[in-house]
Amino acid sequence: MLLEGIDHAVLSDPDAGEASALVLLVQQGVVVGASVGDSLAYVVRTVGEEQLLTTSQRKAPRIGTGLACPVGFGPVQLDGKLITRRAARVDAQQLPSAIAATSSSDVSASLGRW
């Protein structure tokens, strides 16, 4: 409902455009969320195995159309690194290099803010 509300708020702003969105809640080692558009969320485990959390999301219509249909995911045990990206920037073939570029301390620091 949060993303649907944002969708309608953006639609009502004549200066706003369309966008993808990803909302995550990480608490006590569990992640839940919702997404719409081309934003991706992965849990990457130490053995290099990744789990795409946003497998069921709808790429269109996006936020700002008044028709966005966000899809929820989780709860998923956060037993690795949580990585979020826009699909336009990182596809499945680029994921290993994106993981390598993200250190454990970076992920821990960003999760500490939640």
What is the predicted pLDDT for the residue at 39? 87
> Average pLDDT in the 25-51 region?
89
- Report if pTM > 0.75: no
The beta-carbon contacts of 7-12 under 8 Å, at least 24 apart in sequence, are 7/36, 7/63, 7/64, 7/65, 7/66, 7/67, 7/68, 8/66, 10/63, 10/64, 11/64, 11/65, 11/66
Residue with the larger pLDDT of the pair 73 and 90: 73
Supply the mean pLDDT for the chain. Answer: 80
Q: Break the chain into its structural domains and give their ranges.
A: 2-112
Per-residue pLDDT tens for 79-101? 899 988 876 544 555 555 555 55
Per-residue pLDDT tens for 38-50? 888 989 987 768 8
Strand order in the sheet with 30-36: 21-27, 30-36, 71-77
